[in-house]
Copies of this chain bind each other. A is one copy, B any other.
Amino acid sequence: MKTPVIVINFKAYSESLGMHAIRLARMAEDISKETGVNFCVAPQWVDLRSVASQVQIPVFAQAVDSAVSGSFTGSNTIEAAKDALADGMLVNHSERRITLSLMSEIVSAAKTSGLVSIVCADTPKATAAACALNPDFVAIEPPELIGTGIPVSKAKPEVVTKAIEKVKSLNSLSKVICGAGISTEEDVAAALRLGTVGVLLASGVVRAKDPQSVMLRMAIATGAKE
């Protein structure tokens, strides 16, 4: 997956449900085409198939509940993500923590299915642990900053740099994304300066008055040119 990357988690917000999901995904696609920056969107499961069929940017599931198909009720599977033409999935988001065992199964099954995995981790240690599973990306999210609007680059830059060091010292191929408190273009620029390959954010775009201009400013802040 091309980097730098800006991943927008639609969460379970009303503002990003149904036709709003399509609208936001199209905005991201437009900005992506315009600026060459890789935008990804993670709609709710109810919108996964419709969004994936209508935009060409990468579309992610917010979580997967089971690595295998079968006799499970209410579970969202790898196979379902693949069938919906999703490109990947978030794994172990702080609002959907899973066991190490399930995380390992999901990352492996994702790889087998050709899907990209972004594993969320709260500390440099958890980042190192996640790397052992060889996900494509690890999103570092100091939990005390989630939803605060305080960017980790300001409040705890050392958490990000330590996570990156850990990954390098392990010779891991996983890339680090910055995932808490990102709400402005300055936060995006700071995240990249710290050595990450992108950002994971939600309300900063989804609940913005003008999501498209926020996305545009963030794209520009990555300094990327086509």
Partner-B contacts on A (CB < 8 A): 9, 11-14, 17-18, 44-50, 61-63, 65-66, 69-77, 79-81, 83-84, 90, 92-104, 108, 121-123, 125-126, 128-133, 143, 147, 166, 170, 202-203
- Interchain CB contact under 8 A, A77 and B12: yes
Alpha-carbon separation in the docked complex, A70 to B203 (Å): 10
Chain B residues whose C-beta falls within 8 Å of the C-beta of A121 in the assembled complex: 100-101
Q: In the docked arrangement, what's the CA distance between A69 and B47, Å?
A: 14
Q: Which of A45, A47, A65 has the most CB atoms of chain B within a 10 A radius of its CB? A: A45
Cβ distance A161 to chain B, nearest Cβ, rounded Å: 17
Bound: A92/B74 CA distance, A = 10
Instruction: Kindly state the separation between the CA atoms of A27 and B131 in the bound complex, as whole angstroms.
Output: 43
Beyond A101-B126, A170-B170, whether A96 also contacts B75 by CB under 8 A is yes
Contact residue among B76, B92, B132 (Cβ-Cβ distance under 8 Å from A132): B132
Which chain B positions have C-beta within 8 A of A9?
A: 73
Query: B48 touching A46 by the CB < 8 A rule?
Result: yes
CA distance A131 to B128 in the complex (A): 9
Question: What separation, in Å, do the CA atoms of A76 and B101 have in the docked complex?
Answer: 22
Would you list 17 pairs from A and B whose C-beta atoms are within 8 A, ordered by A residue? Answer: A14-B79, A17-B79, A17-B83, A45-B76, A46-B81, A47-B80, A49-B49, A62-B73, A73-B202, A74-B90, A75-B95, A92-B100, A100-B129, A101-B122, A104-B123, A108-B125, A128-B132
